[in-house]
Each structure stands twice: as structure tokens, then as C-alpha cells.
Chain A
Amino acid sequence: MTDNGHTDHEQLARRLHEQGQAQAPPGLAGDVMRQVRAEPRPSQHTWLRPVALCATVAVLLLAGIAGLTRIGGSGQSSSAGSAAETHSAASSAGPEKLQGQRATPDTVIPERQVAGVPADKLATLSPLPFCAAQAHAYALRVPFGRYAAVSRQLQAWAAAKPAGAPAYDVQIRRAAASARLALTCP
């Protein structure tokens, strides 16, 4: 840049600074502040944020630990002879009873038990398997989408069971939608 050019630019900058200023329209600040005061104020307790974050993390961790403990506990109890418990509960509480949670690969909780389903009706759903340990009960694995319908059907059959007809308690297990309906040993 030449000295002349430099001086020109400096003069121009000075003129711009002197002549380019404008004043905010009257009422602008007032309008802004009216809107600002009408809005919810930013938190006045910024120190609460990290505390709230820590508390949330702690609660989530505790919930996770509690959940894991619960699953572990119910797994143990189910392996310790849940079939017998289920059968006795069903006998005392009527034809239908919601059971506790159980984590098996193909079930979705909750399970439901229907007591006294006639054997011949049950056999129309699936061949009755031979179960050595439990003579009076079966587990019925039901695809997710058919759960309600099958459950209603079993209840209807149980309600209409002829006296003295052989019958079984059926524990209905909701399975994945792609699973096949099948009777298994409990």
C-alpha cells in the first residue's frame, strides 16, 4: 500500500467511525426487557445442576443394581422348584393367577396360570409331552400376538370342564412373536 493509500484508508476509517454511528430506536431496550422479564428466568441455582446430575446418576445406578439383584433372586427361586409353588398357588387362588417374573430366553413376563384345563382340549393345541417330575401341570409357550386369545380360550375350557375329566394346570408363557405355540414341561 502506498503512503497515500494508507492515509486515505485511515481518513476513511475515521469518517466511518464518526459518521456511521446510529442510535438505537427509542423503546428498543424497554421492549427487550419486557420480554426478558416475562420469560422464565434462567436457573438462579446453577450449583444445583451438578448436584442434580449426580443424584440422577446415583438413582439410575441404584435402580440398575436393584434390578439385577431382583433378576438374580427370582432366577434362584424359580430353579428351586417353582413348579410346585405354582401348582399350589393355582389350587388355592382359583383358575387364573398372575405369577412372578421369571427370566428365560423365550418368555416375556408376566406369566399367567390357568388351572383345570381339560386334557383333551389341551391336546388340540399341541401334543402333550411326557413330564416325569410334574404330572398335573404343563407350560404353554404362546407367541406374543396370540397370548390374549389363547389365554381366553384356556379359561373358557377350564370353566366348562366336565366333572371328573382329566385336567391340567397350564402356565402360559408369552414368547417372542416368531415362536411356535408348544406345550412343555413346567
Chain B
Amino acid sequence: MALPRLLAAPAATYDGRMRLQDASDEWLAKRAARGDADAFEQLVLRYQDRLYTLALRVTLSEPDARDCVQEGLISAWRAIDRFRGDARFSTWIYRIVLRKAYDVLDRRKRTAEPMEEILIASTDRPADDRLDLIAALATLEPEFRAAVVACDIIGMSMDEAAAALEVPAGTVKSRLHRGRSRLAVELEAHRAS
């Protein structure tokens, strides 16, 4: 009987080494903790889009999102020997990047940074309804937006989102529900106008 994918050892190449592309996140993280930069690079390649999406939809700014991901990944590399295998690597790295994103929002609030750039100067030019959706998402308060982004855009489970957002699962559920409701109202208003 075939083993479930997570339990199975990564495939070995002809010279006996693990193929990094096939390895689990946790295995790569362990290798990275021993100083294997190639293993860490595999994690970077695997997560960069999801981390960037998370940071972009929370901070609403491309340069800030890029900084969050870059700084988050460097922080992760420095702290990877403290990563405990009892949690999922994805949750751990999402939490690091989310903290960076929250730092950006706090800084923005303190310095009252102008929001012009924020109505997403996205490089991937959206279709009309897509623009509506992203613009509506931007109107949500950060804690509701973060819950919606984590669960609906990134696809985290409720528990995973709770761990990444560092709030109880019940709070995520309630924020997600309220976030979606307000998003629906915003979209409706946008369409009507």
C-alpha cells in the first residue's frame, strides 16, 4: 500500500540525495536549520507567491509587500533553527510575514502616510470586476481584511489562519463572516454607482 505523501520519504536521485522539489516543507526546514541554503531556497520558491499575495492584500502596497516578504524570509532564515517541527512550516512563515505587514500598517498609521498609492497599483492589470473586488477589499479594516485574505485568498484553514493571525479560531471565523458581509455590501454599492 502506498504511503500518504506527507509520510513518504522524498524521492532519491541516482546519487542517493533527496530531490528538494519533492521534499516536504518540514524536511526542507530541518535541512535549512542545519545551514542548507539550497533547501531554504526551495522553500522561498515554493512560498514566495503566497507570501507576496498575503502581504500585498494586507498592506495594499506593492513596495511594502515586497519589503515584508523579503524581510520576513530573511528573518525566517535567521530563526529557522528555532522552528519547531510540531507546527506547520507554512503557518510559521505566514505568521512572520503577517507580523511584518502589521508593522507596516502600524507605521503608516503613526506617520499618516498618504493612501494614494494604495488603491492597488497592481502590475497585473485587473479586469473590471477584479478591480471592484480588490478595491472593495481595500475598504475593509485591516483585521477583517487579514482574515478574508488568509482564508479566502490564500486558502488557509480556520485553525491555520488562527495560528498565523495569532487570534483564536472563533475570532477568525467571526472576522471572516463580517469581512465577507461588508465586502458584499461594498461590491453592491460599487456596482450601483
Contact = CB atoms under 8 A, between A and B. Distances in A.
Contacts of B37: 33, 36-37, 41
A24 interface: yes
A44 B37 CA distance: 11
Contact of B53 (A22, A28, A32, A41): A22
Among A5, A42, A43, find the residue whose CB has the most chain B CB atoms closer than 10 A: A42
A39 B40 CA distance: 13
Contacts of B133: 15-16, 19-20
Interface residues of B, number: 48
**By DSSP majority rule, is chain B's interface helix, strand, loop, or mixed?**
helix
B44 A29 contact: yes
B34 A23 contact: no
B184 A8 contact: yes
Interface string B151-193: 1110100000000000000000000010011011001000000
A94 B114 CA distance: 82
A22 B52 CA distance: 7
Among A24, A31, A44, find the residue whose CB has the most chain B CB atoms closer than 10 A: A24
B33 A28 contact: no
B48 A43 contact: no
B70 A28 contact: yes
B183 A12 contact: yes
A146 interface: no
Contact of A23 (B45, B52, B184): B52
Contact of A33 (B44, B56, B124, B180): B44
Contacts of B65: 22
Contacts of B105: none
A20 B129 CA distance: 11
A33 B77 CA distance: 10
Nearest to A31: B70
A43 B153 contact: no
Contacts of B53: 20-22
B12 interface: no
B137 A20 contact: yes
Given A29-B41, A36-B77, A43-B81, A16 B124 contact: no
Considering the complex of A and B, which 3 residue pairs feature the smallest CB-CB distances, nearest first?
Answer: A20-B153, A41-B35, A16-B152
22 contacts: A9-B177, A12-B187, A13-B151, A13-B152, A15-B129, A16-B137, A16-B153, A19-B126, A20-B53, A20-B134, A21-B49, A22-B52, A23-B49, A24-B48, A29-B48, A31-B70, A32-B73, A33-B40, A36-B37, A36-B41, A39-B74, A46-B81
Interface of A: 1, 5, 8-9, 12-13, 15-17, 19-25, 28-29, 31-33, 35-37, 39, 41-44, 46
Given A15-B133, A37-B37, A42-B78, 16 more contacts: A13-B151, A16-B137, A16-B152, A22-B49, A22-B57, A24-B69, A28-B70, A29-B45, A32-B73, A33-B37, A33-B40, A39-B74, A41-B37, A43-B81, A44-B35, A46-B81
